[in-house]
């Protein structure tokens, strides 16, 4: 059975990726210190781990191919190549490391750029060194659209000018560069996905790391006013989490190398997002105007040409459908 490591696998994005990998029959190691992730995100699998009969009937795997999940409390900011558990992994035993662990908040990166650098750059370097040690040929990295300069024509292509305006974005770009360096000098086939604005089930609205979509949905469900920073005409490319993980999986499966945008190719204003939520809930949403925030990009939308041409992939969840599915999950989970 092929083996995969997922850093940050108990988090919002990472847990959806783990779901997909286990469904595909992989043996998955999750490395997560649970500083922002939650093991309950993996309960679909951990609660059933000892119930072999249920696993067979639900997922239709033979006993020899039954998916396996192992969760390890490991902090990637430490030089964990010396970790006793990881030292038991044999060279050539892991096909890919999906590096999803990250500190996700732009505002927090201004308050503590050193900690952001440790989590978003040094952590990446640690992962690469561990991959090199165990002869793992590929690291698939969770990058961000924030690496782009605001001085670009839209939609943003992968070759557009870079110009990070926050420590968070700078550390993401540094990580992309070091992945590419390992490709050139160590013969690896690393891959970076510049994710645009993620949303979906399991995203915690109470976390400072969560995006505007789930924060708005949570407030709207409680009939609270929604805070709109600036004039609300700033745009985002909102990508549903299950589409994003399918894109990354295709990149691994088709042995792609380099950098890819992951979005929808559709530009949505914050005001339009409010209107969409209002329509779904069937009532008027009240907003509060607030001062614009430092380090926030005014407009963004992805060009998906490379994603479609190289990977044959295009997201199929529109914003309304994604919002409805996210709302349904939030209602069930309080």
- What domains lie within the chain, and their CATH numbers? 3-332 (3.40.50.720)
Give residue-wise pLDDT tens across range 116-172: 999 999 999 999 999 999 999 999 999 999 999 989 999 999 999 999 999 999 999
Dihedral of CA 280/284/286/287: which sign? positive
Angle between helix 270-281 and helix 212-221 axes, rounded to 10 deg:
40
Give residue-wise pLDDT tens across range 160-207: 999 999 999 999 999 999 999 999 999 999 999 999 999 999 998 877
Give residue-wise pLDDT tens across range 241-273: 999 999 999 999 998 999 999 999 999 999 999
Q: Mark out the alpha helices in the chain (DSSP H runs).
A: 12-23, 43-46, 52-59, 106-111, 113-117, 123-133, 167-186, 212-221, 241-253, 270-281, 305-311, 319-332
Residue 238's beta-bridge partner residues? 197
Angle between helix 241-253 and helix 12-23 axes, rounded to 10 deg:
50
For residue 59, is pLDDT > 70?
no
Question: Which pLDDT band, with edges at 50, 70 and 90, does 208 fall under?
Answer: low
Compute, in degrees rounded to 10, the torsion defined by CA atoms 74, 77, 79, 83: 0
pLDDT at site 292: 78
DSSP label at 155? Answer: S
Catalytic residues: 168
State the Cα–Cα distance between residues 185 and 190, nearest whole angstrom.
Answer: 12
């Amino acid at each position: 059975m092929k083996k995969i490591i997922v850093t940050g696998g108990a988090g919002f994005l990472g847990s959806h990726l783990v779901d997909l990998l286990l469904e595909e029959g992989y043996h998955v190691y999750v490395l997560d210190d649970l500083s922002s992730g939650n093991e309950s995100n993996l309960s679909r699998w951990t609660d059933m781990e000892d119930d072999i009969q249920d696993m067979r009937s639900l997922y239709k795997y033979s006993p020899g191919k039954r998916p396996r999940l192992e969760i390890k409390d490991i902090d990637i900011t430490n030089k964990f190549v010396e970790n006793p558990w990881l030292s038991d992994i044999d060279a050539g035993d892991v096909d890919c490391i999906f590096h999803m662990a990250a500190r996700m908040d732009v505002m927090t990166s201004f308050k503590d750029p050193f900690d952001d650098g440790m989590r978003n750059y040094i952590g990446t370097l640690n992962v690469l060194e561990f991959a090199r040690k165990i002869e793992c040929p590929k690291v698939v990295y969770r990058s961000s659209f924030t690496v782009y300069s605001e001085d670009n024509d839209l939609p943003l292509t992968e070759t557009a000018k870079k110009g990070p305006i926050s420590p968070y974005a700078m550390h993401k770009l540094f990580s992309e560069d070091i992945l590419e360096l390992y490709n050139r000098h160590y013969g690896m086939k690393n891959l970076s996905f510049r994710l645009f604005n993620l949303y979906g089930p399991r995203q915690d609205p109470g976390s400072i790391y969560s995006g505007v979509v789930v924060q708005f949905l949570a407030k709207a469900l409680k009939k609270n006013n929604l805070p709109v920073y600036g004039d609300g005409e700033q745009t985002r490319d909102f990508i549903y989490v299950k589409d994003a993980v399918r894109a990354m999986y295709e990149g691994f499966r088709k042995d792609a190398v380099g950098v890819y945008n992951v979005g929808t190719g559709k530009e949505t204003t914050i005001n339009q997002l409010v209107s969409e939520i209002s329509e779904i809930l069937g009532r008027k949403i009240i907003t509060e105007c607030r001062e614009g925030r430092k380090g926030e990009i005014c407009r963004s939308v992805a060009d998906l040409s490379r994603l479609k041409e190289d990977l044959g992939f295009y997201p199929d969840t529109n914003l309304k459908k994604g919002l409805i599915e996210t709302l349904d999950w939030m209602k069930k989970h309080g």
